[in-house]
Amino acid sequence: MKPTQQQLEEFEAQGFLVVRGALADADLDPVIEEYEAHIDRRARQLQAEGKISELHAGAPFDQRLALICRQCNEIYPELDIMRLRGRASFAFLGNDNLLDMVEAFVGPEITCSPIQHIRPKLPGGLAPRGADPHVAPWHQDAGVTWEDADPVFILTVWLPLSPARPENGCLQIIPRTHGTGVLAHVIRAGQGTVIVDEQMPDAEPLTLPMDKGDVLLLHKEIPHRSTSNRSDTVRWSMDLRYQPTGTPTGRPFHPEFVVRSRANPDSVLTEWSVWDRLWAEAQAKAAVDKPRGHRWKSVPAR
Ligand SMILES: O=C(O)CCC(=O)C(=O)O
Ligand SMILES: [Fe+2]
């Protein structure tokens, strides 16, 4: 779905655009089914190993993982997109309905950034210690790249796979605050990469409840956060980033790929197995090299 001129102007002015019902079930269900199949297979293994007593096979997508994790949360760290690396998830990165929207902002030569996630945000306290609980303090996505990407237009695309609500930790943003460049952040122990207090814009946050099919397009200088999940459902979401081909992603140690090209269609990566291998190799190398993800200094918890 191509955005209208009015929607493009709204993004320019507000620094974000929510397109309601932009994607159909046919776009998203293959990803959901891929995750359901993985969770089902792993639940059966956990049951065979005596780690869970119930499969919760009839539970809806936004509840089953939480019900399983209440007994054993071993599945949880396997689920982000670069860990599970499913075929349907890869195919979705190149979804035409999504890219038609992205192209209006990024142009016809589009690279898919490796800064991408599928996040099952569990009810508070259920995620294993040390795993990402998908609770993000106030930050700009401009703050999660290396400096080389600072001049680059990188579009964040955030979309829920199940209802995202204030009580399960939907996104909050501070509209109309783009144009600042990169604000100073710190890496705060126990919290993550967060804008320093002095640079936090003094403006009212906007809470963004969203449903499956809705898509948020976000300028990389808009501060945003999400709080913990106080419900008993799982807030399933994807966040992806797209940018003009040939520009640095700010994550050189993870694999980017050309996802659409009008000038050179042969350059588009359509082979799932190549994407799968690139991630596997990058993770093996990063485990040894331990590259810095973010540029900021670490500070203690407060
Ligand atoms: O999904 C979340 O809770 C945080 C996501 C985020 O910071 C992003 O998509 O850039
Ligand atoms: Fe973010």
Q: 12 alpha carbon to ligand 2 midpoint, in Å?
A: 19
Q: How many domains does the chain have?
A: 1
Q: Is residue 94 part of a domain?
A: yes
CATH code: domain of residue 279: 2.60.120.620
Q: Is residue 59 part of a domain?
A: no
Q: 16 alpha carbon to ligand 1 midpoint, in Å?
A: 14
For a mutational test of ligand 1's pocket, the pick from 115, 121, 158, 238, i.e. the residue with the most ligand atoms closer than 8 A to its C-beta, is 158
Q: Is residue 46 part of a domain?
A: no
Q: Is residue 283 part of a domain?
A: yes
Q: Is the pLDDT of residue 130 over 90?
A: no
Pair 166, 206: CB distance under 8 Å = no
Question: In whole angstroms, how far apart are CA 81 and each of 2, 84, 93, 127, 227?
Answer: 26, 5, 10, 17, 21
pLDDT tens-place string over residues 141-198: 999 999 999 999 999 999 999 999 999 999 999 999 999 999 999 999 999 999 999 9
Q: 142 alpha carbon to ligand 2 midpoint, in Å?
A: 8
Q: What is the mean pLDDT of residues 289-297?
A: 96
Q: Would you state the pLDDT for residue 1? A: 81
pLDDT tens-place string over residues 24-34: 999 999 999 99
Distance from C-alpha of 82 to C-alpha of 251, rounded to nearest angstrom: 14
Which residue, 37, 47, 89, 97, is CA-closest to 68?
A: 47
229: DSSP letter: B
For residue 104 the two structure tokens come to 């209006």
Q: Is residue 62 part of a domain?
A: no
Distance from C-alpha of 97 to C-alpha of 22, rounded to nearest angstrom: 8
For a mutational test of ligand 1's pocket, the pick from 237, 238, 242, 243, i.e. the residue with the most ligand atoms closer than 8 A to its C-beta, is 237
Q: Would you state the pLDDT for residue 287? A: 96
Task: State the residue range of the domain holding 276.
Answer: 5-22+79-299
User: Who lines ligand 1 at CB under 6 A?
Assistant: 119, 134, 136, 141, 156, 158, 224, 226, 237, 239
Q: Would you state the pLDDT for residue 47? A: 98
Q: Is the pLDDT of residue 42 over 90?
A: yes
Q: Is residue 69 part of a domain?
A: no
Q: Is the pLDDT of residue 302 over 90?
A: no
* Residue 80 host element (H or E): none
Distance from C-alpha of 21 to C-alpha of 266, rounded to nearest angstrom: 31
